[in-house]
Structure 1
Amino acid sequence: MQDTLKSGPSKIKAMQKATTVAISITTIFYVLCGMIGYAAFGNKAPGNLLTGFDSDKWFWLVNVANVCVAVHLIGAYQVTTFTQALVCIRLMQVLAQPFFQFVETKCANKWPESGFIKTTYQIHIPMFGNYDVNFFRLVWRSVYVLITSLVAIILPFFNAFLGLIGAVAFWPLTVFFPIEMYIKQTKMRRFSFTWLCFEALSLFCLMISLLAAAASIHDLVVSAKIFMPFKSVS
């Protein structure tokens, strides 16, 4: 039966297709939201088109979206216990996992005889089964999540910070490195028509990133003048 089944695509082709589709869809949504918002409201366009106006008509839709984001990212911290799962619901970042591993490896190498760091216990949780628990990992990761959550709640400049992070990360990660790797991989001839097109695209995206970063910094400066902890500004 297996011989009669069609083999799936290679991992490289599947990843290329997934990346193309994901970046294309994201770009279309972002560009449309930016263009439609600016065309309709100009510089007065709110950072959140659904909640930026004096109306609570769409609050339920935003709440549903927030729940979906929480459910989608709840596994980002790779929690090991039910307690950690409860703690991690508030703030999930995929980039935290390598940082967790880095800190835990450093601590294990520095204090190799510490039972608190090294020892793993098996705890039975009714209806959830047995879990291997390391108390150092439990305490350290929970404290990290609580602190980052508190900082995120205190800072009110959500859209400005998000725009600055996106502007800084967009050009090098999404444009420059992929283009340079493709040029290197295909051994593309310098100053050929295709090479010039790729470099022009990279330069154009760099200019967009710089402009977006400048706008985000301006928003941060303006928002800082009316800063109020635990209250959203943008």
Structure 2
Amino acid sequence: MILGADGIEVVAEAADGGEAVDAVRRTRPDVVLMDVRMPGMDGLEATRRILADHPPSSPRPPRILILTTFDLDRYVYAALSAGASGFLLKDASADRLVAAVRTVRDGDALLAPSVTRRLVERFARHQEGSTLHRDLSTLTPRELDILRLIARGLSNTELAAQLHIGETTVKTHVTRVLSKLGLRDRAQAIIAAYETGLVVPGSGPR
């Protein structure tokens, strides 16, 4: 009702992860609102399966927005690592919910980089195995610098000031980093930087 009132078409609903995967395959939505804890297949596994069907290079991969009751939840970390585009607390206002759907639909990650970094620093060191296995050797020295600074929560404007380059140039570098590593957005880039050891939890400015 909330989404429909704002002109957003709800093409399907699902009671559990298995139904969600089937619904996405059937309706090909732009955005999926995914609860983490559900009966049967949980939201994390559903997220993995949906995004496995739609790699970043696919023509129109769905954007997954995770709904959770906790803003620093290890399940949210795992979902972001799997490729989700952000998370939203379940008690968010109607306006916030609508804005979140539109944000991820437009290709942006629904996470302040600093919040993502705190989430990663809390959980990355406790992971037994990395979800992301990236070959950073494909990146140039400048692109590695860009990835390090993204992981520390800097915006494009701050990146430009730090590296003494134009903001347009920064955007080009960020796009190349995401493309070379097969990443969906900045949130996943931050996780990749930590999980590959490029940035160590606890390092850098808060």
Q: TM-score, normalised by structure 2?
A: 0.24
Higher alpha-carbon Rg: 1
TM score, norm. by length of structure 1: 0.22
Task: Considering Cα pairs closer than 8 Å and 6+ residues apart, tell me whether 1 or 2 has the greater RCO.
Answer: 2
Bigger share in helix: 1
